[in-house]
Amino acid sequence: MLVSIYRYNPDTDKKPVMQDIEVSIPAGKDLMVLDVLELAKQKDPSVTYRRSCREGVCGSDGMNINGRNGLACITPISEAVKPGQKLVLRPLPGLPVIRDLVVDLSIFYKQFEKIKPYLINDKPAPAIERLQSPEDRAKLDGLYECILCACCSTNCPSFWWNPDKFIGPAGLLQAYRFLADSRDTATAERLADLDDPFSVFRCRGIMNCVAVCPKGLNPTRAIGHIRSMLIQQGT
């Protein structure tokens, strides 16, 4: 199988190039894209990418696979490539490239920091723990599972255009995770921080984030809930 990999070292290269590497896939096996990348790295050890858990938990190996963002470790090549096509691997779009498939996620984490991703509760701490009813706990399902792989935010044109101002789908999913948490008491402050023309309202609802989320989450729905909360508070 032919694998085409984006190669770029900003310190030494004038511009990026696509390098084709031929790898042999064991007959009858449907490897994951990460396995193919490992085979390519055996041919050329200078190919650089992030990886860790190889089971879709750590979110390290988010990349653009044949035009679609995804996690290399849980994307089978049968799903990524049609028979006879080559596998094309590029870094997550819209972020500065550090080297090859490794991007600088600083601005992504900065947006995540902005939403204060931790429980804020100004009531005295109970002796053991803050209890939550099963119904309130269920409200966090579909929100807490985000692994911050950045596949969604880097597939969002609004984030490409204003990565310093638009929180992005990943950050907003987490923003709603804390807005929806019955144990958090900073709802009004959190909403006030989001009520500007960029942080939430740059979302155009095109749902690229939903289409690519490797965990099957729905940031667009979370953003809709944030808008509803802003309307309830602001009107």
Partner 1 sequence: MVTNVTNLGRSGLFDWIIQRFSAVILAAYTLCLLGSFVAHPDMDYLQWRSLFDSSPFRFFSLVTVLALCVHAWIGMWTISTDYLTSLQLGTKATFIRLVFQAGCALLTVVYLLWGIQIFWGS
| Residue closer to partner 1 (CB basis): 83 or 197 | 197
Instruction: Please identify, using beta-carbon distances, which residue of 16 and 157 lies nearer to partner 1.
Output: 157
Q: Smallest distance from the beta carbon of 234 to partner 1, in angstroms? A: 5
Minimum CB–partner distance for residue 45 and partner 1 (Å): 34
Q: Under the rule (CB under 8 A), what is the footprint of partner 1?
A: 158, 160-163, 165, 192-202, 227, 230-231, 234-235
In the complex, minimum distance from the CB of residue 195 to partner 1, in angstroms, rounded to a whole number: 5
Q: With respect to partner 1, which residue has the nearer C-beta, 24 or 235?
A: 235
Structure tokens at 117: 């991703």
- Smallest gap from Cβ 224 to partner 1, in A, equals 12
Q: Closer to partner 1 by CB, 51 or 165: give it.
A: 165
CB of 63 to partner 1, least distance (A): 21
What one-character-per-residue DSSP string does 108-126 give? HHHHHHHT--S----SPPP
Phi, then psi, of 99 in degrees rounded to 5: -170, 135
* Closer CB to partner 1, 144 or 160, in the complex: 160
